[in-house]
Amino acid sequence: MLVSVSIRCVFFVFFSFQFNRVSRPIHSYKKQGATKLNIRTQDHAVIYTDSYPGLLEGESLDKKPLRVIPESPELKLDPASRINFGKVYTVEHNIKVKRLGKIADECMHLLDMYWREANDPKSGNATSTE
């Protein structure tokens, strides 16, 4: 099964609590990546499962890319996939989710840093849950 974020709603789950999961959305924005109009590029990072796909033409992102190690070889993110640290979603416990994989060890410090930056009220980037 090919997981394409342009078709499916994909979330990256950060924390699981007893009744819900705190997550950040992953979108390809119809294969436009962060070149899509009216998005905050400073909130986004490339997220990928295969080799690093690079930035799209005309795309500029400050955050370093995050690599996902898929649970199985057929699970792949679209090369235009971007994780949006500017939005937080709560996924209720009764919503079925399928594991795509996990963040590679060498990217965990970046994930932690981006999460903290997005939730720091002093940075002006603090987000609220939807």
Amino acid at 87: K
Backbone phi and psi for residue 51, each to the nearest 5 degrees, phi listed first: -70, 155
pLDDT per residue rounded down to tens, the chain (130 residues): 122 233 345 666 655 556 667 788 889 999 999 999 999 999 999 999 989 999 999 999 999 999 999 988 988 899 999 999 998 887 777 777 777 888 899 998 998 899 889 887 665 555 544 4
Give this prediction's pTM.
Answer: 0.81
Would you tell me which CATH number, out of the four given (2.30.30.110, 3.90.1300.10, 3.30.420.40, 3.40.50.1370), belongs to the domain 10-123?
2.30.30.110
3-state SS, 59-101, equals: CCCCCCCEEEEECCCCCCCCCCCEEECCCEEEEECCCCCCCCE
Would you state the structure tokens that stand for residue 112, as one six-digit string? Answer: 């932690």
Question: What's the CA gap between 100 and 30, in Å, rounded?
Answer: 20
Residue-range domain boundaries for the chain: 10-123
pLDDT at 56: 97
> From the CB of residue 91, how many other CB atoms can be counted at a distance below 10 Å?
16
Question: Cα–Cα distances in Å, from 40 out to 43, 44, 59, 71, 95?
Answer: 6, 7, 12, 30, 28
Asked if residues 47 and 68 have their Cβ atoms less than 8 Å apart, the reply is yes
